[in-house]
Amino acid sequence: VGQLALYCAHPWLKAKDCSNPNWEDEVELNERPGYPLVTPKVEVVLHLLAEAFGNGRKVLLFAAFNHCGGLIKKAAEQLKLPKAYWHAINGSTPQEDRQPIVDEFSVYDGPAILVLNPKAAGAGLNITAATIVIHYTLNWNPALEMQASARAHRIGQKSPVTIYRLFYEDTVERVMMDRIAWKQDLAGRAVPISS
């Protein structure tokens, strides 16, 4: 299932060992002949980014696999998207460097994108400069995704925030979307009991 989710993110991604509990942190990038850089999902992201950058907006893009941001940036450069600030925060970003990256992103005068791994940047960061949130990969845990989206929905946010969740129909991603909806519904029905 993990390899299928990777393939949906981009066919150039491959897990070294899916049996490892931390396999998501050890994803390799293998450029494969016959598989293009610009997949349908990357094409949708590029369209969203072109519109956002053309309007001078700031974007948070959440991707569970660290290579996704680099692939999207490479595709954006090939298609000559408008110039924008690019940076990333993932598990390899030292804790003390994360807030300075957010501050730089926030004060940048013009369009910008910050590519975030939801596990590394899902909590503790307020990124209210962004008005567009893109979930490039899905997560089995809806609370993690909601927490990630909340980075832009914080005190100080004065603009509407648009959230996009990208997925392929008839794939493991559709199964993930259905499970996410089921978990959210279940959480809404649960009644806390205290003694």
Q: 145: Cβ–Cβ under 8 A, 6 or more apart, which residues?
A: 62, 118, 135, 138, 139, 165, 180
Q: Give percent of the chain above pLDDT 90.
A: 44
Q: What is the pLDDT of residues 160-195, one digit of tens each?
A: 888 899 999 999 999 988 888 888 788 777 666 665
CA distance 60 to 113: 6
32 — phi, psi (to 5°)?
-110, 125
Of 90, 174, 187, nearest to 143 by C-alpha is 187
pLDDT band, residue 124 (cuts 50/70/90) = low
Q: 50: Cβ–Cβ under 8 A, 6 or more apart, which residues?
A: 79, 81, 82
Average pLDDT over residues 130-135: 90
Higher pLDDT, 63 or 2: 63
pLDDT at 52: 95
- Indicate whether 147 pLDDT > 80: no
pLDDT band, residue 42 (cuts 50/70/90) = very high
- Indicate whether 122 pLDDT > 70: no
The structure's pTM equals 0.88
pLDDT at 191: 65
